Structure 1
Amino acid sequence: MTTKIVALVDALGNLAHLLLLPGQRHDSVGAEPLLDGIEIGALIADKGFDNDALRQELDARGATAVIPPKANRAKPIACDFAMYRWRHLVENFFCDLKQFRRIATRYDKTDLSFSAMIYLAASFMALK
């Protein structure tokens, strides 16, 4: 059993919201539920989130999409790579989260208990 964690972190690298997806699902499927009801100025994401539907949703909200275009995109879209460098906060969050063995090896059998452990670990990381 594999589980994909799609996380939304704030400008300080602290967990704001997360969503668990089956391992075979694409990352961009989890973007819309994560952003629902949240006010953002910019979304910094990797190439896995590069799709027209997400970009249109962000434009409608007045948010900036800082997502590098995929290599197979017919018409390249510009990306602010100076702002994209701040994506390391998300990578640092996942790196710190994997220090908790229970999360890295997914000891919990249910999604509810697994997400609760992620929130608990994120709370611990925020208090450091």
Structure 2
Amino acid sequence: MRHDRRQHRQGSPPRTGRKRGTQSQAIGRSRGGITTKIMALADAVGNLTDFRLLPGQAHDLRGTGALIDGLTCGQLLADRAFDADWLREALTGAGIEPVIPPKSNRRFPAEFDRETCKWRHLIENLFGRLKEYRGIAMRCCKTDESFSAFIALAATVIRLR
């Protein structure tokens, strides 16, 4: 009598083919539940210029490299989550002044322009205007392509107002 060991292994059977699911849909689990982060670039008047979607549990710096490639501006305003030496060096190397407040646990805090930093409220206002659309606030779209298209459409409508 032949005994097949594979039938008595613990766990699920071995997978065949590619794994389907939320891996590429920018959906992640965080303390608030299933979430998606929108990393956005805004111009000087608070209009959306570019954005990336990240899973909710991903750190903010994870999508920053792709977002700042080829960026041409005088200053980049960001919050404390973006306080990283490599980001400051990349921005300075591109001729962009980083206006990023240092984290509280930094041994040698970096200098930043406090008056210019007060204009970060334009970015927060942008997110507030985007979240007026229920589909963006609740992430009603299943795929990241359709969610990105909805964000782009809402940003266009906001810009035309």
**TM bin (shorter chain):** over 0.9
Normalised by the size of structure 2, how large is the TM-score?
0.78
Q: What SS does the aligned partner of 1:8 have?
A: strand
One of 79, 90, 110 as aligned partner of 1:46: 79
Deviations 1:8-54 (A, max 9, x none): 00011111000000111111122211111121211100000000010
Look up the equivalent residue of 2:55 and give its one-letter code: P
Q: Identity rate of aligned residues, in percent?
A: 52
Q: What SS does the aligned partner of 1:84 have?
A: helix
Look up the equivalent residue of 1:126 and give its one-letter code: R
Deviations 1:96-123 (A, max 9, x none): 1110001100100000000100000000
Q: What SS does the aligned partner of 1:24 have?
A: coil
Query: Per residue, is there more helix in 1 or in 2?
Result: 1
Q: Flag the structure with larger Rg.
A: 2
Distance in 1 separating the partners of 2:145 and 2:124: 23
In the TM superposition, 1:1-128 aligns within 5 A as 1-128=34-161
Distance in 2 separating the partners of 1:40 and 1:46: 17
Unaligned runs of 5+ in 2: 1-33
Normalised by the size of structure 1, how large is the TM-score?
0.97
Q: What SS does the aligned partner of 1:16 have?
A: strand
Distance in 1 separating the partners of 2:94 and 2:143: 34
Name which structure has the greater RCO, CA cutoff 8 Å, separation 6+.
1
